[in-house]
Amino acid sequence: MAPEQSTETTRSRENTPRIIPRSDHSISRQHISDEALKVLYRLHSLDFKAYLVGGGVRDLYLGKQPKDYDIATDAKPSRLKKIFRNCRIIGRRFRIAHVYFPGDKIVEVATFRRGEVQAIRKASGVVLLDNEYGTPEEDAKRRDLTINGLFYDIGTFSIIDYVGGVEDLENRIIRTIKDPDVSFQEDPVRMIRVLRHAARTGFSIERTTYEAIDRNRRELPTANPSRLMEETFKDLRSGAAVPFFTSLEDSGLLRALFPTLSEQLRRQGEDHPLFSRLRVLDSWIESGREVSNAVLITVLVHTVLVPHEEAWRGDAPNPRGIWPILQAGFSDATRHMRISRRDMERVFQIILAYPKLYQFLRSGGELSPSYQKKSYLGEALDFFELDLQASGREAEPLEAWRECARNIPERKRPTARSRSRRRRRGGRADRGGGGRREGAKKSPREPREAVAGEPPTKKKKKKQRKRRRRRPKKSAKPDTS
């Protein structure tokens, strides 16, 4: 979104918050989830402050249904653990309570924090230190954006505004609470959040905030790689990926995260398939269709790993020895993010299947028997269908192909315990133990005969120690000399 023309920076805030009573706002408890209301009412009944905070209040004020609910309170984590039996305390940097409900629903509850966020730079990225308890005002002013700094009080049904967020919601403006340069240097990921909320809401970015993004864009790769990947997945699944990546390219942040992709977009313009694929992806997300992480990553890196334009349309076969080429290109393209090895390998399989699926489509619309059993067929078909829709081509045979993918049994990933058991069983067979045949009954264990001179086993040593502990100590003989 274009920056807003006002040059006003973070406006002065009074210590007294602005209170918007229930009669002057549209937030209703009917639109808040039952799980969040249960947590709020329970805390309020025990005389704790209980506020709905963050994006939940923002979305409710705009008439949208929040995806999740965050609650802030003055109850400490140890107290929350006693109040809610269905609670689990998580976090190293700052202890947060997750209250669990049926249906895999989670309500996050955090104690009010205070103080400036301290950023410590490490090899793994920027680490934030803000683990001191505080007041509601201090908690509001340490947040990133004014529209995310609002509180909804369950006791009075009013909105508490310490940072001018209600005014910015009404004027449709995105701005940081603190000075934007300070805010972005504390946490570079906030630059992504500014663009995200502008893309999702259609709001304008306050000019001083937008100019600070341009000055600090080179700081973005210093953020934690896992957080950068998590934020990218959020935006790809937001249903507003097209406006977000457009603003990401316009602001220069895409060049900082994916330099090769940014260079391709500047060179190819509208002929590049990224934005046509993102439009289809947005329509899928809006319709409720789920897309795996591997498919999302493939949408971003396909043209980077396969730079020849004829390969983007499936017109070129896979060259020989392409796997190490993909590995080298993937490491370079995603060097600022942390992606699991499983997702990386699945991306390679999707890319390798892409020209093959085009070949099957042109040769009569039937999959080869070997491809009908591939474990990655479902995700490869997702990307293939997305590309067909993006280029305006027919996708008639895909339903029959998907039936093959549904019939493929899901392979369970072995746990550490099952792997260790398998190694032990295999070890006996390798040493000539043979092992039990399938279907054979387990023979009763025979007592092991002790061998003279053999050192005692661990189990035997343990029994000996127990006997010595139980044996009463002999009293010392009196000295009769």
**Catalytically annotated residues:** 68, 70, 144
- Phi and psi at residue 161, in whole multiples of 5°? -125, 105
Tell me the torsion sign for CA atoms 55, 56, 59, 62. negative
The residue type of 303 is T
Q: Report d(CA 364, CA 349) in Å as an integer.
A: 23
Distant-in-sequence, close-in-space partners of 465: CB < 8 Å, separation ≥ 6: none
The three state secondary structure string of the chain is: CCEECCCCCCCCCCCCCEEECHHHCCCCHHHCCHHHHHHHHHHHHCCCCEEEECHHHHHHHCCCCCCCCEEEECCCHHHHHHHCCCEEEECCCCCEEEEEECCCEEEEEEECECCCCEEEEECCEEEEECCCECCHHHHHHCCCEHHHCEEEECCCCEEEECCCHHHHHHHCEECECCCHHHHHHHCCHHHHHHHHHHHHHCCEEEHHHHHHHHHHHHHHHHCCHHHHHHHHHHHHCCCCHHHHHHHHHHHCHHHHHCHHHHHHHHHHHHHCCHHHHHHHHHHHHHCCCCCCHHHHHHHHHHHHHCCCHHHHCCCCCCCCCHHHHHHHHHHHHCCCCCCCHHHHHHHHHHHHHHHHHHHHHHCCCCCCCCHHHCCCHHHHHHHHHHHHHHCCCCCCCHHHHHHHHHCCCCCCCCCHHHHHHHHHHHHHHHCCCCCCCCCCCCCCCCCCCCCCCCCCCHHHHHHHHHHHHHCCCCCCCCCCC
Q: Report d(CA 215, CA 197) in Å as an integer.
A: 20
Contact, 118 vs 129, CB < 8 A?
yes
Contact, 196 vs 301, CB < 8 A?
no
